[in-house]
Structure 1
Amino acid sequence: MPVFGALIEWVSFYWVTIIVVLHIGLSVMTSLHVLLYKENDRTSLAWIGLVVFSPVLGSLFYWLFGINRIKRLAQREHPQKIKQDFRYEEDCIDFHGQPKHWHSSIIAGYTIHPVNYVDANSIELLVNGDNAYPAMIESIRGAKHHIVLSSYIFDYDSLGQKFVTALAQAKDRGVVVYVLLDGIGVGYSWRKSDRALKKRGVRTAQFLPAISLTGIRFINLRNHRKILCVDGQEAYIGGMNISKGNLVKSAKHPIDDVHFKVAGPVIDQISQVFIEDWFFATGELIKFPSYNAGITEPKKASVVSRVIQDGPDEHHNRIRWTLINALVCAQKSVRIITPYFIPDQTLMTSLHAAALRGVSVEIIVPERSNILFVDWVMEANYLRIIEHGIEIYKNKRPFDHSKIVLIDDVWSFIGSTNWDARSLEFNFEINLECFDGDLNSQLTALYESKKLNSEQVLEADMANLAMYKKIRNNLFRLFSPYL
């Protein structure tokens, strides 16, 4: 006790010195980490400033939210051999009959993400949860062997309970079921869906649990993918979480969105992403059946497609580079639907370059999103965006969460990715890069239907904004790399 009393007395006498030494030590260590691992000069300087001028708290905040890289495939036990089936061989690139001016993009695409384009796929649009959820539940009910489901949000509302019941019933009849939930997203329902599934005997796992000794420093990295694969024969991907808010005909606060039902060999690439995610979350290597064209021949199987996966790991920047690569090939039009449009300077420059070439560039965003300060940041950027002829339209319907990119009449990009730093820097995402005129035409019709209910952003309107709004918007714009 005398020793303990002496220690307390020493600390109480030198506490200022201790805090100063701790602050200097943490600041130096954290600043070195920023210098070595942060690529963006602007964010690096901001982090160092926060670390230096906010004793201890700045360093703590950085280690919790500033680390945006994680190594996953570096684990020695990861089955690398599974990935070989999807890799291309440099001396036999297949252009699948695409227009000649897209050949250079396809060559670059293989370098960006060395996964094969595969043909004979069918992709069906499912607009809003009213169409998507019944189809998904029907597929779950028809499953015979395996189901894998990954979702960022899985609400335990009336809709979520239907999914829980369908998954549990599939498990009861002998189907192998795996459900992967994001460690933060599962908290939206207070983990009720996770507990309900486990209670019914369904295998679940959390991707980077928010409360864990190993995952706490990666709390800012989230799995934003939405994947459902059934028996290797049907798959669903897109931007739709499991929530009754997507039932626009009955929801109190409806959310517009679009999901996609996939049939064809590209399903193997989709299920592979789930296998890797499950292995990362649990250390367990699961088996999933390969697509068999002889079982269910897809209708109108004309889509050439492949998966582009992205995340703050060894796949980082693949979606950003895929978009830049495709924008270079645009000759007539670029059409974008996104709930959040806060692109970095590189993507914005690529869009402006397309507009300067005479390409029609149009973007539809919600009039009001579900995040107020993101709306302010977008509004701050409107004048900069509409330079060189880019047109922005604000959709006046309830919040539109759809994510689509269309270039000319052939290329489509669909999946879970938004045009913001959160998606492109911190989230694990999955998209399909597609070549098909019919799919592009269907998506263009959807785009035009949304445009009918949209109002164009005009330069005069932005210039006449109240001064306090300009100041507010541009203040929040400073934090856009972190949103």
Structure 2
Amino acid sequence: MQIIEALIDWISFHWVTIIVIFHVSLSLLTSIHVLLYKENERTSLAWIGLVVFSPVIGTLFYWFFGINRIKRSAQKQYPQSLKETFQHEPIAINFHGLPQNWHAAIIAGHAIHPMNYLDGNNIEPLINGDNAYPAMIAAIHNANRAIVLSSYIFEYDSLGQQFVDALAKANQRGVAINVLLDGVGIGYSWHKSDYALKKLGVKTARFLPAISLTTVRFINLRNHRKILCIDGEVAFIGGMNISQDNVVKSAKNPIDDIHFKVTGPVIDQISQVFIEDWFFATRELIEFPRFEALQIAKKKSDTSSELQANNGAIVARVIQDGPDENHNRIRWTLINALVSAQKSVKIMTPYFVPDQALMSYLHAAALRGVSVEIIVPQHSNILFMDWVMEANYPRIIKHGVKIYKNNRPFDHSKIMIIDDIWSFIGSTNWDARSLEFNFEINMECFDPQLNENLTTLFTAKKENATLVVKEYLDPLSRFKKIRNNFFRLFSPYL
């Protein structure tokens, strides 16, 4: 007892010194980690300042939100044999008869992401949930072998219940089903859709569950991918979550969006992304029917030319990105495409807060005489993000870049169109969260007809939008300008 009392007395007398030593030691270790693993000098300086001048709190904030642990742990979690399974052996570069000015971009594309460009694909835009959901549910009802579904948000509302019912019936028919939902996104719905699916016997998993004691440190890293693959024959990707709000004709709070129905060999690249995500979340390696194998089987049983005639003409490939070994691949793909632009760049995104590098390439394109047009919502679903975008408008409209505010309630569409040949579709927003912290899936497409269809949609949206001009920005009060620029400091975490 005397030893304990003496220890308590010693701590009581020296508690200030103990706290100072603890803070200095913790700050030193954290600052060393920042120096070793942060590439951006200004970001590193900001983190070190927060760690030093906010004792303990700054350090905790860094370890929760400031580091990318997935990049290292993901590499450890894949055994070498499985790594070989997940690898894609690139073949000799095939330009598929695409315009000469895009050949350099295709060469660079293979270096950025070693995934082959594949022809013979069909990609059909599905506008809003009014068109996308019936097609998706019908495909689930027609499934015979296997279904994989990944979504950031899967609300258990009247629309979500239709998906649950369709998946349950497919499960009863003996279809192998795997549903992967994001550990944070699942919280958008009070009644959890994965609970309902599990009760009906459908296999589900959560990607980095936010409430797990072992993974709470990953709360800032989210699986933002939206994937539905069925039987290796049809797939759906894009930016649309599963929510009644996307059924615009009947929603109380309508959300405009666009999804895509995909057929063709690129489906194998989509399903492979899901297989890797499922393994990461569950340590289970699943098998899924491959499009190429199915087509070989069909050719053996069907000697007619009908199958060949139904093949599409779109050259496409999947680009996956995330805070792991695939980090920055979408950012580099965007830069690569912007360098190749000759006539026009059209971007539609719910949030437009690009980093300095992307904004510089957009400005460089505009300075070359390329028409650069961006459409964002008049009001997004995140008030703080609206303030951040408003703070950036003066910087964006420099050098001839045009930005329009869509007058629809909220447009969640994500597309990028360059010239009359290249399109970029998928789940990625133009903000730091998507490009730094989220696991995303996009598709790089070469096809004049798809480009034309998306351009028609873009033009229709622009007709209902207001151009942001300097005269709109000047009357903003000083309070709003300070508020907007203050929240701009926190844009990576909004």
TM-score band, normalised by the shorter chain?
over 0.9
Q: For the residues of structure 2 that align with 1:391 and 1:94, how far apart are their CA atoms?
A: 35
Q: In the alignment, is residue 393 of structure 1 matched against residue 393 of structure 2?
A: no
Which of the numbers 342, 349, 370 marks the counterpart of 1:338?
A: 349
- Aligned equivalent of 1:252: 252
Q: For the residues of structure 1 that align with 2:486 and 2:101, how far apart are their CA atoms?
A: 42
Q: In the alignment, is residue 213 of structure 1 matched against residue 213 of structure 2?
A: yes
Q: Post-superposition shift, 1:9?
A: 4.5
Q: In the alignment, is residue 406 of structure 1 matched against residue 409 of structure 2?
A: no
Q: After superposition, where does 1:431-446 map in structure 2 within 5 Å? A: 431-446=442-457
Q: After superposition, where does 1:236-315 map in structure 2 within 5 Å? A: 236-291=236-291, 292-293=294-295, 294=298, 297=307, 299=310, 301-315=312-326
Q: For the residues of structure 2 that align with 1:17 and 1:212, how far apart are their CA atoms?
A: 35
Q: Post-superposition shift, 1:289?
A: 0.5
Amino acid at match of 1:38: K
Is contact 1:68-1:425 (8 Å) kept?
Answer: no
Q: Post-superposition shift, 1:164?
A: 1.0
- Aligned equivalent of 1:354: 365
Is contact 1:254-1:399 (8 Å) kept?
Answer: yes
- Aligned equivalent of 1:43: 43
Which of the numbers 83, 87, 90 marks the counterpart of 2:89?
A: 87
Instruction: Assess, with a 3 A threshold, how the Cα gap between structure 1 residues 119 and 73 changes in structure 2: closer, same or farther.
Output: farther
Superposition TM-score, scaled by structure 2 size: 0.94
Is contact 1:122-1:299 (8 Å) kept?
Answer: no
Is contact 1:67-1:218 (8 Å) kept?
Answer: no
The C-alpha deviation readout for 1:134-174, integer Å capped at 9, x for no partner, is 11111111111100000001111111111111111111110
Amino acid at match of 2:84: K
- Aligned equivalent of 1:107: 107
Amino acid at match of 1:221: L
Q: For the residues of structure 2 that align with 1:456 and 1:65, how far apart are their CA atoms?
A: 36
Q: Post-superposition shift, 1:424?
A: 0.2
Instruction: Assess, with a 3 A threshold, how the Cα gap between structure 1 residues 222 and 76 changes in structure 2: closer, same or farther.
Output: closer
Is contact 2:77-2:280 (8 Å) kept?
Answer: no
Is contact 2:266-2:317 (8 Å) kept?
Answer: yes
Q: After superposition, where does 1:91-240 map in structure 2 within 5 Å? A: 92-190=92-190, 192-240=192-240
- Aligned equivalent of 2:493: 482
Q: For the residues of structure 2 that align with 1:151 and 1:100, how far apart are their CA atoms?
A: 37
- Aligned equivalent of 1:453: 464
The C-alpha deviation readout for 1:342-364, integer Å capped at 9, x for no partner, is 00011000000100000000000
- 1:88 is paired with a residue whose SS is coil
- Aligned equivalent of 1:63: 63
Instruction: Assess, with a 3 A threshold, how the Cα gap between structure 1 residues 224 and 9 changes in structure 2: closer, same or farther.
Output: same
The C-alpha deviation readout for 1:168-207, integer Å capped at 9, x for no partner, is 1111110110000111111111461111111111111111
Give structure 1 stretches of 5+ with no counterpart.
none
Q: For the residues of structure 1 that align with 2:446 and 2:110, how far apart are their CA atoms?
A: 15
- 2:214 is paired with a residue whose SS is coil
Is contact 2:129-2:257 (8 Å) kept?
Answer: yes
- Aligned equivalent of 2:303: none
- 2:379 is paired with a residue whose SS is coil
- Aligned equivalent of 1:470: 481
Which is worse superposed, 188-197 or 8-17?
Answer: 8-17
In angstroms, what is the RMSD of aligned CA positions? 1.6
Instruction: Assess, with a 3 A threshold, how the Cα gap between structure 1 residues 332 and 179 changes in structure 2: closer, same or farther.
Output: same
Instruction: Assess, with a 3 A threshold, how the Cα gap between structure 1 residues 143 and 73 changes in structure 2: closer, same or farther.
Output: farther
Q: For the residues of structure 2 that align with 1:47 and 1:348, how far apart are their CA atoms?
A: 23
Q: For the residues of structure 2 that align with 1:29 and 1:191, how far apart are their CA atoms?
A: 42
Give structure 2 stretches of 5+ with no counterpart.
300-305
Q: For the residues of structure 2 that align with 1:428 and 1:300, how far apart are their CA atoms?
A: 30
Q: Post-superposition shift, 1:332?
A: 0.5
Q: Post-superposition shift, 1:312?
A: 0.5
The C-alpha deviation readout for 1:287-327, integer Å capped at 9, x for no partner, is 00001333895856111000000001110000000000000
The number of residue pairs the alignment matches comes to: 480
Q: For the residues of structure 1 that align with 2:156 and 2:107, how far apart are their CA atoms?
A: 45
- 1:284 is paired with a residue whose SS is coil
Query: Which runs of 4 or more aligned residues in structure 1 lie more than 4 Å from their structure 2 counterparts after TM superposition?
Result: 1-10, 295-300
Seq. identity, %? 70
Superposition TM-score, scaled by structure 1 size: 0.96
